[in-house]
């Protein structure tokens, strides 16, 4: 029996040849992301525990993007907590005011997320990065705090649902239309703790921005992640931005899915 793209990425980061849906595994992470709402909680936990250092200053990304420019003293204090932590630990990717943007657009544009990565973020829409052929999912601030120390996290390997979109989108039909239709079909809990794998001729025709929109909204169906296998569109996008080597994974033809949908 073959493996899905999700299973292959998780297996590689767990130091395994194969993983099975439902089992609990520890995985190495490539990026730990937090923003000005979630990072301060993680930072305060680390400081309360007197943690002297982080696992890798280049794999932690801090993006103040919810309350920037700061709307009040409290939101300014949130960013200041991040700023002090970034300076203390020499975090390479702390995006200061004027350098930042919406985190889920910023990281791909900066070449920080690449195909084959495992990315966790203390934000539910971290699943956006699945558009690049990465396994990406949202976690809580406590999980981010632990990952900042260890460089690892744990997952229950999700089952996968395959969504195939036939034909090419007509004019004015976007990735947003496809994912909204899909969620309308399966419901807001229709992919609970599943990996939503998007495939088909319509997906191949979408530009990267539309693919990101689809992966971004996987959480709105309750999914653990959304993912699109890398193709030439992906390679063209990341090759101009990548700051390190990456690996391309695709699902095997005999991979097992818990369900499949065709539109």
pLDDT the model gives residue 209: 98
pTM of the model: 0.96
* pLDDT tens digits for range 223-249: 999 999 999 999 999 999 998 999 999
Q: What fold, for 5-236+253-262?
A: Aconitase; domain 3 (3.30.499)
Assess contact for 54 and 148: CB atoms under 8 A.
yes
pLDDT the model gives residue 243: 86
Q: Per-residue pLDDT tens, the chain, 263 aa: give them.
A: 899 999 999 999 999 999 999 999 999 999 999 999 999 999 999 999 999 999 999 999 999 988 888 889 998 999 999 999 999 999 999 999 888 889 999 999 999 999 999 999 999 999 999 999 999 999 999 999 999 999 999 999 999 999 999 999 999 999 999 999 999 999 999 999 999 999 999 999 999 999 999 999 999 999 999 999 999 999 999 999 998 999 999 999 999 999 999 99
- Burial group, residue 251, by CB count within 10 angstroms (0-12, 13-18, 19+): buried
Within 10 angstroms of residue 168's Cβ, the number of other Cβ atoms is: 12
| SS (HEC) of the chain | CECCHHHHHHHHHCCCCCCCCCCEEEEECCEEEEECCCHHHHHHHHHHCCCCCCCCCCCEEEECCCCCCCCCHHHHHHHHHHHHHHHHHCCCEECCCCCCCCHHHHHHHCCCCCCCCEEEECCHHHHHHHHHCCEEEECCHHHHHHHHHHCEEEEECCEEEEEECCCCCCCCCCHHHHHHHHHHHHCCCCCCCEEEEEECHHHHCCCHHHHHHHHHHHHHHCCCEEEECCCHHHHHHHHCCCCCCCCCCCCCCCECCCEEEEC
* pLDDT tens digits for range 14-50: 999 999 999 999 999 999 999 999 999 999 999 999 9
Q: Where are the domains of the chain?
A: 5-236+253-262
Assess contact for 185 and 196: CB atoms under 8 A.
no
pLDDT the model gives residue 67: 85
């Amino acid at each position: 029996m073959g493996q899905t793209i999700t299973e292959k990425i998780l297996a590689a980061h767990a130091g395994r040849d194969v993983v099975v849906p439902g089992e609990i595994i520890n995985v190495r992470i490539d990026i730990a992301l937090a923003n000005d709402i979630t990072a301060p909680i993680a930072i305060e936990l680390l400081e309360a525990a007197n943690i002297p250092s982080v696992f890798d200053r280049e794999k932690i990304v801090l993006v103040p993007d919810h309350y920037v420019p700061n709307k009040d003293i409290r939101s300014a204090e949130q960013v200041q907590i991040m700023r002090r932590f970034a300076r203390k630990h020499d975090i390479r990717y702390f995006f200061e005011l004027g350098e930042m943007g919406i985190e889920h657009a910023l990281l791909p544009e900066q070449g920080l997320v690449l195909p084959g990565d495992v990315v966790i973020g203390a934000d539910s829409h971290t699943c956006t990065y699945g558009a690049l052929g990465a396994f990406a999912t949202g976690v809580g601030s406590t999980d981010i705090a632990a990952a900042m120390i260890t460089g690892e996290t744990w997952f229950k390997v999700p089952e996968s649902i395959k969504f195939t979109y036939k034909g090419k989108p007509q004019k004015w039909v976007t990735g947003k239309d496809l994912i909204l239709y899909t969620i309308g079909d399966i419901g807001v809990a229709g992919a609970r703790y599943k990996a939503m794998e998007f495939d088909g001729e319509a997906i191949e025709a979408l530009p990267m921005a539309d693919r990101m929109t689809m992966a971004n909204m996987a959480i709105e169906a309750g999914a653990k992640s959304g993912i699109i296998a890398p193709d030439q569109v992906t390679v063209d996008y990341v090759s101009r931005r990548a700051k390190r080597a990456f690996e391309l994974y695709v699902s095997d033809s005999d991979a097992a899915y818990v369900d499949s949908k065709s539109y």
